[in-house]
Amino acid sequence: MAATLCARFLPKQGWLPLTQGVRHGSKAVTRHRKPIHFLKQKLLAVTKYIPPPRPVPPDAYPPETTLVQEDSGFVLLLKRDLKKVFQDHKMVAVVQNSGSNAEDMITLKQRLYKHGISVKFFPNQVMRSFLSESVYCNMTPLFIGPTVLFVSKEPKVKEMLSALRASPQMILLGACIEKSLLSAQGVVSYSRLPSVTVVQGELVSGLTMLTSQTSSMLQRHPAHLSALLHQYIKQQSPNDGAEEAT
Amino acid sequence: MMSLVKAAVGGFMGVCRAHGHQQGPLAGHLKILTAAMKTFDIPPDYSGVVLPAKPKLKYMNKVPNLKKAKKEAKKLRDIQGPAKTANAFMTGQYAIVAMGGGYLHWGHLEMIRLTINRKLDSRTTYTRWRVNAPYKPITRKGLGQRMGGGKGAIDHYVTPVRSGRFIVEVGGKVELGEVEHVLIEVAKKLPFPAKVMSRESLAAFQKMQSDMEQNNQNPWTFKQIAQGNMLGIRKVLSPSDLHNHGRYTGKFWLQGRV
């Protein structure tokens, strides 16, 4: 950093060269980034930070531990409502509405209300978590997309189907009628079933058919009965004789 | 019954909307209005925060009050390396932290003072200086003077700032988001790189540094090689490299080292 004058042969006494070469390097603290000695560069390169290896990118797989969020107060309220719905109502039908107008909705609701069917809306997530805890867990695949619940205390399926036929956007997905799950076709066939009293009457008549026939026959005149028996014997004996001859 | 009423209300609203202008393809469709609960974030508790009597930044003198001003050697080592003083929070919550070394002169300090005093609300926030008024004299020779003839006269005074030092601390009944934009505005105008930090972010930064030291997979560290003088590397290293383990070069702080 000091000025160095080469020891030169000075021709004259007291002669100083016109230019003086001043050699200096930069200080340790500079405004610019000082050029680093190559060996120091190598040292810095060798001692770089190497982070711990990550086997997979962090978001490649779903997390092992799913965060279980506590149900908020509103969700608990909805679940209580759902529980009451499933307890009180015999028929719970799941219908998908692919974009119905407000007016259509009002008319549909009016038509259903006349038969005692009410329309309920519940968020799918709440529905799914409620169903997974309750007995009706097999209904879970029905609740995908924009769904509506038609609930009624008495299973009035025919009226519901007629109302649904009127609105083309509402598609019946399935129903839980009297604790039995039915698909859409099952609901249609359920609607075609005769009423309970009719079915009971048919069953009773089928069971008592034979006994009623015999009782009606025995009530006829005994001479008629004996004539029938004689005819029967005659039929039996010629049949035996014909078989022995051949 | 309630569902009918709700639907009626929604229906009327839907119908009104249907008669509006510029309806898209899905307009007029049913909007299900259901009651819901609005959850609110709990606002932070400022009950323990005491605002001092003078919340604004004090004026700093251009020239220290000395009887006889002595010329000082350049001593650039007051910029070099990490800060040992004023590198932690005192009473405030947020601060501007220097990420490199440099000199702050009166112009910088005035800029900081005026910007912060103008922009921050003195009823809810208070600020404190974490740097001293300029005390180090910087000499300059006159224009056109040749080399030699002694040291120049004192021109102005500066405050040396090392990397990691706090410049200004802000506290009060505010959150970071309310104060950040002001502090960033100031931090960008400083002669060294500076960052706005809160207590949590500073703790996180320090934790990150220590985690890096802990889980470094590289078996070789600068500290180990320099201290052991492996391969005679101290020929090309300075004593300050040994001290600072290669994280500082001159006034610069090297991010990502170790």
Interchain proximity A33–B218, CB inside 8 Å: no
Residue type, B193: P
How far off is chain A from B214, nearest CA to CA, in Å? Answer: 10
pLDDT given for residue B11 in this prediction = 45
* Cα distance between residue B137 and residue B159, in whole Å: 9
From chain B, the residues in CB contact with A127 under 8 A are none
Can you give chain B as a three-state secondary structure string? CHHHHHHHHHHHHHHHHHCCCCCCCCCCECCCCCCCCCCCCCCCCCCCCCCCCCCCCCCCCCCCCCCCCCCCCCCHHHCCCECCCCCCCCCCCEEEEECECEEEEHHHHHHHHHHHHHHCCCCCEEEEECCCCCCEEEEECCCCCCCCCCCCEEEEEEEEECECCEEEEEEECCCHHHHHHHHHHHHHCCCCCEEEEEHHHHHHHHHHHHHHHHCCCCCCCHHHHHHCCHHHHHHCCCHHHHHHCCCEECCEECCCCC
ipTM exceeding cut-off 0.85 for this assembly: no
The answer to whether B36 faces chain A, any CB pair under 8 Å, is: yes
Q: What is the pLDDT of residues A10-31, one digit of tens each?
A: 566 777 777 766 667 789 999 9
**For chain A, percent of residues with pLDDT exceeding 90:** 52
Q: Residue A137: in which H helix or E strand, if any?
A: none
* Cα distance between residue B176 and residue B105, in whole Å: 27
Please determine, for residue A105, whether its predicted confidence score (pLDDT) is greater than 60: yes
How far off is chain B from A34, nearest CA to CA, in Å? Answer: 8
The answer to whether B215 faces chain A, any CB pair under 8 Å, is: yes
pLDDT given for residue A88 in this prediction = 92
* Cα distance between residue B194 and residue B233, in whole Å: 32
From chain A, the residues in CB contact with B15 under 8 A are 102-103
Please determine, for residue A4, whether its predicted confidence score (pLDDT) is greater than 60: no
Residue of B nearest to A49 (CA): B258
Interchain proximity A43–B250, CB inside 8 Å: no
Higher-confidence residue: A147 or B1? A147
* Cα distance between residue B228 and residue B239, in whole Å: 13
Across chain B, which has 258 residues, the per-10-residue mean pLDDT values are: 49 44 52 72 92 96 95 95 96 96 97 97 96 97 93 96 97 95 97 97 98 96 96 95 94 94
Please report the DSSP string for A187-240 in residue order.
Answer: HHHHHHSPPHHHHHHHHHHHHTHHHHHHHHHHTS-HHHHHHHHHHHHHHHHHHH
pLDDT given for residue B167 in this prediction = 97
Selecting from B4, B37, B225 the residue whose C-beta is nearest the C-beta of A47 gives B225
Q: What is the pLDDT of residues A165-214, one digit of tens each?
A: 988 888 999 999 988 999 999 999 999 888 888 989 999 999 999 899 88
Predicted TM-score (pTM) of the model is: 0.64
How far off is chain B from A132, nearest CA to CA, in Å? Answer: 23
CB pairs under 8 A between A and B: 114
Query: Tokens 């006829």, residue?
Result: A220
How far off is chain A from B92, nearest CA to CA, in Å? Answer: 32
From chain A, the residues in CB contact with B252 under 8 A are 33
Q: Is A47 helix (H, G, I), strand (E, B) or coil?
A: coil
Determine how many CB atoms are found less than 10 A away from the CB of residue B14. Answer: 21
Over residues A57-78, mean pLDDT: 86
- Please state, rounded to an integer, the average pLDDT across all residues of chain A: 87
End-to-end CA separation in angstroms for chain B: 70
pLDDT given for residue B15 in this prediction = 43
pLDDT given for residue A127 in this prediction = 93
Q: Residue A73: in which H helix or E strand, if any?
A: helix A73-88
Selecting from A43, A103, A113 the residue whose C-beta is nearest the C-beta of B222 gives A43
**Residues 126 to 155 of B: which have CB under 8 A from any A CB?**
none
How far off is chain B from A53, nearest CA to CA, in Å? Answer: 8
What residues contact B232, with CB distance under 8 A and at least 6 apart?
Answer: none
**Residues 43 to 62 of A: which have CB under 8 A from any B CB?**
43-44, 46-53
From chain B, the residues in CB contact with A51 under 8 A are 215, 217
* Cα distance between residue A54 and residue A46, in whole Å: 21
How far off is chain A from B47, nearest CA to CA, in Å? Answer: 29
Q: Residue A170: in which H helix or E strand, if any?
A: strand A170-177
Task: Select from A38, A42, A47, A169 the residue whose CB has the most chain B CBs within 10 Å, as the one to mutate to test that interface.
Answer: A47
A245's tokens: 């001859």
Cβ A120 vs Cβ A85: under 8 Å: yes
**For chain A, percent of residues with pLDDT exceeding 70:** 91
* Cα distance between residue A157 and residue A155, in whole Å: 6
